């Protein structure tokens, strides 16, 4: 499978070969240089954007596909009252989930995070800032941000977490370096609900149900007002298919 190191090495070799051919007058070096560079940048972009490709780092994108287990995961909390409503709904259906929290959102929502842990759900980091340009940050700045989120979680829950979901699902070599240094496991998904792109519950429900299979990790957002109503429809439908809900801890 393609990864960042392999593609970078292949690009360097190709550039060297083109330069050699140019030296003996066999090709237009500058034209091929541009073509190779564009191809390299395109592959790097796709590898960064699609976490399931495991291009820059290896993520857990699904569970054991031989078992009828699935995982509900929620990003961007904790929020009041949205996360509380999601917790109420999960409790009603007796389902456990994994919440990837943004560190800065913990302030003022400490009781929400405490309740999440007390009710048996797993917690992971979703960075401290969830900054729009976080994937372009230096490794040092990225490490500071992620460590701050881990400290914020531990301060409230008293527990360490080894789970991390990259903001926007974007991965880079710096993320790979920092996560390895902090001994964190990157968590992706293989069922994306696109619940932030539409408020049409039926469309979201249809999309998730059509894609969910054994071992699916489902991406949702607990900050959305529509989430409790969606879960009231989604969870019973998944239970009818005999899926067991597990956390990623």
- The answer to whether residue 145 is catalytic is no
What was the pLDDT predicted at 3? 78
Work out the pLDDT band at 164, boundaries 50, 70, 90: very high
Work out the pLDDT band at 16, boundaries 50, 70, 90: confident
The active-site residue out of 4, 62, 121, 221 is: 221
Task: Say if residue 148's pLDDT is above 80.
Answer: yes
- The answer to whether residue 75 is catalytic is yes
Cα-only R_g, the chain: 21
**The pTM of the whole model exceeds 0.85:** yes
Q: Write down the mean pLDDT value for the chain.
A: 93
209-244 pLDDT tens trace:
999 999 999 999 999 999 999 999 999 999 999 999
What was the pLDDT predicted at 206? 97
Work out the pLDDT band at 135, boundaries 50, 70, 90: very high
18-38 pLDDT tens trace:
777 676 665 566 777 788 888
Task: Say if residue 130's pLDDT is above 90.
Answer: yes
d(CA 28, CA 40): 18
What was the pLDDT predicted at 35? 81
- Where exactly are the structural domains of the chain? 4-49, 59-245
**pLDDT (average), residues 38-52:** 86
**pLDDT (average), residues 101-126:** 98
What was the pLDDT predicted at 79? 96
Residue range 59-245 in CATH 3.20.20.370: yes
Phi then psi for residue 245, to 5 deg, are -90, 125
d(CA 68, CA 163): 22
The active-site residue out of 4, 75, 145, 222 is: 75
């Amino acid at each position: 499978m393609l990864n960042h190191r392999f593609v970078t090495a292949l690009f360097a070799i190709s550039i060297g070969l083109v330069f050699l051919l140019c030296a003996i007058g066999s090709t237009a070096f500058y034209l091929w240089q541009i073509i190779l560079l564009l191809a390299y940048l395109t592959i790097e972009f796709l590898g960064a954007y699609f976490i399931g490709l495991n291009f820059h780092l290896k993520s857990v994108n699904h569970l054991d596909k031989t078992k009828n287990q699935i995982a509900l995961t929620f990003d961007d909390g904790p929020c009041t009252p949205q996360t509380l409503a999601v917790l109420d709904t999960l409790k009603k259906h007796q389902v456990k989930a994994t919440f990837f929290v943004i560190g800065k959102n913990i302030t003022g929502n400490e009781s929400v995070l405490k309740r999440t842990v007390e009710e048996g759900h797993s917690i992971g980091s979703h960075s401290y800032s969830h900054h729009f340009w976080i994937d372009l940050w230096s490794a040092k700045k990225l490490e500071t941000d992620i460590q701050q989120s881990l400290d914020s979680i531990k301060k409230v829950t008293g527990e360490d977490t080894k789970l991390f979901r990259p903001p926007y699902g974007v991965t880079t070599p710096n993320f790979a370096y920092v996560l390895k240094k902090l001994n964190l496991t990157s968590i992706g998904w293989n069922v994306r609900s696109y619940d932030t792109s539409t408020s049409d519950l039926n469309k979201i429900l249809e999309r998730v149900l059509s894609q969910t299979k054994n071992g699916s990790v489902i991406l949702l957002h607990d900050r959305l007002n529509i989430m409790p109503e969606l879960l009231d429809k989604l969870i019973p439908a998944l239970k009818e298919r005999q899926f067991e809900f597990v956390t990623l801890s």
